[in-house]
Amino acid sequence: MNCIMGIDVGSVSVKVVLLDQKSRVLKAFYERSSGRPLEILMKLFRKIPNSYNILGVGITGSARTFAGKVIGADLVKNEITAHAAALLKFYPRARTVIEIGGQDSKIIIFRNKIPVDFAMNTVCAAGTGSFLDQQAGRLCIPIEDFGRLALQSKKALKVGGRCTVFSESDMIQKQQAGHDIKDIINGLCNNLVKNYLNNVAKGKDMEKPFVLLGGVAANVGIVRAFEKQLGSKMIIPNHYKVMGAIGMALLVSHHLPKKTRFRGLDFRKYRLKREAFQCKGCINQCDIIKIDVCGEVSHIGSKCGKWG
Amino acid sequence: MKIMLAYNNDLTVFLSTIFRAIGFKIDYLGRPTQKTIELATKYSPEAWCFDTKLMLGQAIEGAKRGNDILTMPGAWGGKNENCLLGYLCKGVMEKRIEKAVGRKIKLWYFNINPIEMIYSGYFAAYKNIALLRKYSKARFFRTKAIKAFVLGAGKMKMAAKLKEKILDSADVAEKEKLFSVYDNFIYDMIYNADTKEDAKKAFEEAAAGISNLRKKKLGKKLVIGIIGDYEHTLLSTFPVLDIEKFLLSQDVFVKQPLSFVNYFSFLSPLYSSKNRKGLKELLPKSVAGSDAVTILCANYLKNRVDGLIHVGTFSCTPEEVADEVLLAHKEKFPPIVSLSYDAHTTEENMKVRIEAFVDMLLAHKRRK
């Protein structure tokens, strides 16, 4: 079967989606990367039946440059553009899109089916999925239960959400003072949303309908906090976790290459060699990664462009 | 005497001409590097804006290289000479540099505030140059300085013109050659071009070099303007990511109206009554002046570009003021994205924003 592949290699998870030529989702895979994104991507590739004929591949996410070079992606794009493409296809009426990923959070404002404004978190990472993950780990609570526990809380405690370090010490202090863990989690969800609205969404014309994307959308505590603070219902799409990957597949399908550069689903055939070194060309001493895939050599990491 | 020369776009060309004419040996530092950032963050208080930190970092680098005179060419702002927040008050920087290098230093400020720039930029520049007299052994200092001043201004205009030509070359196929032409030209201007004829020859050669580069056909022509903290945004001076280079690599044409030629001259289109018309309520009672200049730039570019990138160093008060003003009146301007950076900003983070902005503007164009 002919299909188009979209990949999102993020900081916390790896997503792979296969669309047919009518842009219907055939397969969608989501797996936590656990710090080994390439290995997890290989694992997901193994789940794809060989009967699928891949016509083109698009990749996004924080590891897109590296992973894109390794697998031979036809299109490499940033996460904002990828999410915008998916939203326009599946939720063309959306006016405000909130996307909270592993290491960054974004807002995209749509008017008349075109993105007119966007923002990303800048110097603060307190409102991202990684932080929630970290706190869940510290409290020995599975991240999947985080939202459910927040909903059971009767009152939300004030937990600093401005900075991860202060948030954590605030939470520890509240635990030591004997507060219920559910109230602390509820407080964290509320303050995380407040931080997002005060920083990422600062000055943006947020209008209904609101769409929430990213792994954090699975957290019902966060969803409730958004609904409470925005005074409106949040739309959570069916494929909220993999919208970036869907967007990439859609973008590739708009400009389908005559022949895909994709090297195939079998990683063993890639003959991948990696080498890290420090460029001594100038005082910047950039850390360069040399990638050799099937004899095709490329470099990532130079500031001046010396290494391509 | 050896004088430090930090990279400051076309101003580098202007200052080097004068320094050499009044008998100084130039030590050209080039662009800020990771080393500059390390020194900057190590020796400055956390509260300082990144801009000031970088200036300190460069001065320490200059001192460590054994220069007799250090230069601080970005110290405009506010009333009289110093940054209103006091970072650049006489004595503050000196003490920090001396602590870093363990010896007494001589620091020369190139201080011109925006009001002086608008009404008598070149005169104010000369006032600063005259302060170097106490260090110079050159005979006929004033004559030599004035002569070099005229030559330097001419060379600076050529550098600005060449940069404009480069920024308008998104359709050149081999972009790397484009940048090396500019680098060589600047080097030539600093060390070799001693006469107007030499400078003109270097300029013509560089311009021809750019014109002769192979061009490619582009789809939609996208033009983006850059406004804001200019001394660290011009061709490769930006230590986190060279925005102009990156935009050109994305096949985007760039407009950057704030060369020092424009900054110096009251004849600049930025300060014209036409450009100031209707902006009275938008121009803030300046904190340090560059906020007003940023808004004037945005106004000048608004009908010439598809979008604007506002660059500001983290916690730079004037740029934050400008950002708020532009945000409050965004319907008057094309789409704007604000990029604030500091020593911890990653290249990747900046690239995502710029790429997304480019994609968004292309979507607008397609829609039109």
| Chain segment A58-101, per-residue pLDDT in tens | 999 988 988 999 999 999 999 989 999 999 888 888 999 998 87
Is residue B229 assigned to a domain? no
Q: Averaged over B93-104, what is the pLDDT?
A: 92
Q: Averaged over B22-44, what is the pLDDT?
A: 88
The predicted pLDDT at position B11 comes to 83
The answer on pLDDT for B308 being more than 70 is yes
The answer on pLDDT for B80 being more than 60 is no
The predicted pLDDT at position B341 comes to 77
Q: Averaged over B249-273, what is the pLDDT?
A: 81
The answer on pLDDT for B237 being more than 50 is no
- Residues B34, A283: C-beta atoms closer than 8 Å: yes
Q: Would you place residue B91 in the very low, low, confident or very high pLDDT band (cuts 50, 70, 90)?
A: confident
The predicted pLDDT at position A218 comes to 87
The predicted pLDDT at position B85 comes to 65
Mutate to test the interface with B, among A105, A117, A199, A289 (most CBs of B within 10 A): A117
Task: Give the CATH number for residue B115.
Answer: 3.40.50
Report the residue from B34, B340, B364 with minimal CB separation from A114.
B364
Mutate to test the interface with A, among B179, B360, B361 (most CBs of A within 10 A): B360
Q: Averaged over B306-323, what is the pLDDT?
A: 86
The answer on pLDDT for B117 being more than 70 is no
Q: What is the CA radius of gyration of chain A?
A: 21
The predicted pLDDT at position B199 comes to 94
- Segments of chain A scoring below 70 in pLDDT: 122-127, 161-163, 283, 305, 308
Nearest CA in chain A to B360: A115
- Residues A283, B363: C-beta atoms closer than 8 Å: no
The answer on pLDDT for B304 being more than 90 is yes
Is residue B140 assigned to a domain? yes
Is residue B279 assigned to a domain? no
pLDDT in tens, B247-258: 998 999 999 887
Q: How far apart are CA A127 and CA A132, in angstroms?
A: 8
- Residues A115, B353: C-beta atoms closer than 8 Å: no
- Residues A80, B33: C-beta atoms closer than 8 Å: no
The answer on pLDDT for B81 being more than 70 is no
- Residues B33, A62: C-beta atoms closer than 8 Å: no
Q: How far apart are CA A216 and CA A201, in angstroms?
A: 17
Domain count, chain B: 1
- Distance between A115 CA and the closest CA of chain B, angstroms: 6
The answer on pLDDT for B231 being more than 70 is no
Instruction: List the helix and strand counts (H, then E) for chain A.
Output: 9, 13
Q: Averaged over B144-162, what is the pLDDT?
A: 91
The predicted pLDDT at position A128 comes to 75
**Angle at the Cα of A205 (from A201 to A210), degrees rounded to 5?**
75
**Angle at the Cα of B174 (from B170 to B179), degrees rounded to 5?**
75
The predicted pLDDT at position A10 comes to 87
Q: How far apart are CA B308 and CA A1, in angstroms?
A: 44
The answer on pLDDT for B32 being more than 70 is yes
Chain A residues with CB-CB distance to B310 below 8 A: none
- pTM assigned to the model: 0.84
Q: Is B100 helix (H, G, I), strand (E, B) or coil?
A: helix
Residues 6+ apart with CB under 8 A from B28: B5, B7, B12, B16, B187, B190, B191
Domain hosting residue B51, numbered range: 2-152
Chain B residues with CB-CB distance to A284 below 8 A: 33-35
Chain A residues with CB-CB distance to B241 below 8 A: 303
- Residues B349, A116: C-beta atoms closer than 8 Å: no
Is residue B217 assigned to a domain? no
- Distance between B322 CA and the closest CA of chain A, angstroms: 14
The interface predicted TM-score of the complex, written ipTM, equals 0.77
Contact (CB, 8 A) for B260 and B14: yes
What are the structural domains of chain A?
2-82+245-268 (3.30.420.40), 92-236 (3.30.420.40), 271-308 (no CATH)
Is residue B122 assigned to a domain? yes
* Residues of B (311-350) whose Cβ lies below 8 Å from A: 314, 327, 335, 337, 340, 342, 344-345, 347-349
The predicted pLDDT at position B240 comes to 57
